[in-house]
Amino acid sequence: MTGTSLPVLSAKDFATDQTVRWCPGCGDYSVLTNFQHALAGLGLPRERVAVISGFGCAGRLPYYLNTYGFHTLPGRALPLAVGLKAARPDLTVWVAVGEGDTLGPGVGALLHAVRRNVDIKILLFNNEVLGLTRGQASPAARVGTRTRTTPHGSTESDLKPLPLALAAGLTFAARTADVDAERLLNVVRRATFHRGTAIVEVYQNCHVYNDGAFDYATDPSIKAETTLELEHGKPLIFGSDRERGVRLTGPTADIVELRDDVPLDDILVHDESLPDPTQSWVLSRMTFPEYPECFGVFRAVERPTLDEILHVPPPGPTRALQDLLAGDDPWTVV
């Protein structure tokens, strides 16, 4: 091994001696395992990675990762991560949060981190329920969802994290499911090396309080009809026989049958690099059963990050603070 080469790490190198404590069968086990594999494949030393978490079941993740970590209070994971990245720009900072935290007490911090394009990565566990606090409706609970706090079904409009963040200017947006190891590995790797705020939303099954909420998207026997895999530069086609597609009519998405009267040229071609987020926003809002739900990378664009902007010297003559403090010249207050 040369003086500059790094040891090859495995997923076990990112595991700790802590007993993993989630409910048996929880989708978090799959996310943890795949996240450890993803980190091992990044080529980053463990001391260059930090994982910050908030409240809820997702908050346990730092205990099970052999990296730097911090378990914060409700709504405080993102502010702490932003401060850490500002103080240590050399670190790769991941934030592990549930949708109850992100869209509840942390929603303001989410929008401000996104609009500033802070170079942090957000692993967003979405099970559409508050699991750790025993099954209340979360801000992402769909209309009609029955929980301990909505026994007759939720009547409030649900917040969807990706459309919300894309409206604020999110530069990297992706969605996957807890059982899809290959896609999760791919989007985590891409998010890590993206310059700017990145969100990887993970549909995660809570089999105790919201079991089967995403069966339509994960059941191999039906998901070809209910989901759409986003591939950059390829037409948005889905179905077991690839017989349906997505067409944009103004700002609205339409599902059409690929027949003689609907040529392939009419089908929307996915472009994750568009400067304007409108197309990715429309796709992120498509929800089953009216539409197939989209998975993969919605948007991946480059724009200056907050730390790049802050490190641009202001116009005119500049002087380092330490030179000013150590110099012999008198100070003048104006």
pLDDT of the residue at 76:
95
Task: Please report which confidence band the pLDDT of residue 266 belongs to, taking 50, 70 and 90 as the band edges.
Answer: confident
Mean pLDDT of 281-293: 95
pLDDT of the residue at 147:
84
Distance CA 294, CA 288 (A): 9
- Domain 11-213+304-310 classification at class level: alpha beta
- 272-282: pLDDT as tens digits: 999 999 999 99
Which has more pLDDT, 250 or 100? 100
Q: Of 141, 206, 158, nearest to 178 (Cα)?
A: 206
pLDDT of the residue at 316:
53
Q: Of 152, 288, 290, 147, nearest to 214 (Cα)?
A: 288
| Phi, psi (degrees; rounded to nearest 5) at 295 | -135, 150
Is the predicted pLDDT of residue 96 greater than 60, yes or no?
Answer: yes
Distance CA 138, CA 129 (A): 5
Task: Please report which confidence band the pLDDT of residue 320 belongs to, taking 50, 70 and 90 as the band edges.
Answer: low
Contacts of 257 (CB under 8 A, 6+ apart): 243, 244
Which has more pLDDT, 142 or 92? 92
Is the predicted pLDDT of residue 328 greater than 90, yes or no?
Answer: no
Distance CA 29, CA 125 (A): 12
Is the predicted pLDDT of residue 95 greater than 90, yes or no?
Answer: yes
Torsional class of 10: left (φ above 0), alpha (ψ -120 to 50), beta (otherwise): beta
Distance CA 74, CA 329 (A): 48
pLDDT of the residue at 253:
92
Lowest mean pLDDT among 143-147, 188-192, 215-219, 310-314: 310-314
Distance CA 125, CA 290 (A): 24
- SS3 readout for the chain: CCCCCCCCCCHHHHCCCCCCCCCCCCHHHHHHHHHHHHHHCCCCCHHHEEEEECCCHHHHHHHHCCCEEEECCCCCHHHHHHHHHHHCCCCEEEEEEEHHHHCCCCHHHHHHHHHHCCCCEEEEEECCCECCCCCECCCCCCCCCCCCCCCCCCCCCCCCHHHHHHHCCCCEEEEEECCCHHHHHHHHHHHHHCCCCEEEEEECCCCCCCCCCCHHHHCCCCHHHHEEECCCCCECEECCCCCEEEEEECCEEEEEECCCCCCHHHCCECCCCCCCCHHHHHHHHCCCCCCCEEEEEEEECCCCCHHHHHCCCCCCCCCCHHHHHHCCCCCCCC
pLDDT of the residue at 1:
44
CA angle 234, 231, 176 (to 5 degrees): 155
pLDDT of the residue at 323:
59
pLDDT of the residue at 135:
80
- 55-68: pLDDT as tens digits: 989 999 999 999 99
Contacts of 94 (CB under 8 A, 6+ apart): 49, 50, 51, 52, 120, 121, 122, 123, 192
For the chain, domain boundaries: 11-213+304-310
Mean pLDDT of 243-252: 88
Preceding amide of 263 cis, omega within 30: no
Mean pLDDT of 33-44: 92
Is the predicted pLDDT of residue 319 greater than 60, yes or no?
Answer: no
Question: pTM for the full model?
Answer: 0.89
The mean of the pLDDT values for the chain is 90
Amino acid 28 reads: D
Task: Please report which confidence band the pLDDT of residue 153 belongs to, taking 50, 70 and 90 as the band edges.
Answer: confident
